Structure 1
Amino acid sequence: MGAKTWMLVYSKRDPKEFLHAGARLDRDATTALVKQLYPSEKLVPLDDGDLCFTCPPDKEIVAGCFPGLAIVAAKEFGIDYPSKLASRFVDAFSDGTLYLHAMHSVVDWFAFGVWRNGILQRSLSLSPDSGIMEDIGDRLPFEQAYWAGEHPAVDPDEDPANYPFPFHPLDLGEAALAAFFGYQLEGMIDPELIQPERIPLMRFERKKAGWKFW
């Protein structure tokens, strides 16, 4: 299936600390958060998912609230320009650090954004076909080696000019998962990282709320 994500993660401290600590999922807080973010939709609980699957179909939302940490995955976050994330999502998490992580293996696209106290600090979006769509702010430490060509996208015997970047976007996407949240989905996975299948998340079917007349 390939690696796919479209999610927001909010935290008041380093998200890795909370996820490594194994905090319990707060189901009441999760339900309340999703209702706050989607007040015009009827939300129907589904069977639980986990952190391995943060690329729900259009008619679903995946979310989890833990002490000091919130995760929400939905179609609204799979956007080419992270800086254009709807203000209602940024405003809802304006007293800490908000991360957007989105990637799609079919088109080799990766995007991420980081806001601190509601202010965008870094945004990047790129794919081989579209090039660099957005590049705002200073590059973060985990990016440096990739831009420096230390993780080339092509084999040593291939011409690097055949690929538009000095790295593969999905490799950078996996590095971002590890740097921000302490886990990865694919590739050479460090055994010291979090196992995402151990982090439960709630799933909701989303329906437009409306009046019925009989």
Structure 2
Amino acid sequence: MLELRRVTAGYDRRNPVVRGASLSVAPGEAVGLLGPSGCGKSTLARVAALLHRPDSGTFRLDGTVVDRWRHRAPRALRTAVGIVFQQPRLSADPRLRLSDLIAEPLRATGRRDAVPDRVAELADTVGLTPDLLTRRPHEVSDGQLQRACLARALVLRPRWLVCDEMTAMLDASTTAALVTVVEDYRRTTGAGLLTVGHDRVLLERWCDRTLDWATLAQEAPAP
């Protein structure tokens, strides 16, 4: 279970952007978080991905209370969560070819032997041809780069996936393709999904349930 209980978080303790938010995601479940731009949902997504330490509240992941974030978090917890951001060009190292971008987490965790097979497998899964893997971010479209970023998020086979407005900058066909990849992964692995966005129609079609940001503080996590 992924559980956030009464989380307050932000970048200025005197004026947090998230106040007392609670939500839960069960293994294999897809939960959508709906809210307008600037409301704080991306900050909460970063907390769930162990990238941002909250000011207060409790975060449990697979029964373990999380008390360290980013590189200080235990590897077993860090690698349990994959995240895809809204803007791929801000989350991708411009110096890396797409193949190296996908392989980053494998190399960072000492799994270099798995790189060739895993990169080739995921490139095919997300719809990247071999010629695209040799290109750098400035040489591909936003949609192609986001495909690589999704592959990077999946490369360690995470038990939880956080999609922070993953499709906001994509056309309809690329959106459909990437949602299908995520759903296939969720169905075959039993991974839980937290996806945030402002497109109600997309979230309600995609997810098992959708939470409205305006009432999030009243959402009681499952026991």
TM-score bucket of the superposed structures, by smaller chain: 0.3 to 0.5
Structure number with bigger Rg: 1
TM-score (norm 1): 0.38
TM-score (norm 2): 0.37
| Structure with more helix by fraction | 2
The structure showing larger relative contact order (alpha-carbon pairs under 8 Å, at least 6 residues apart) is 2
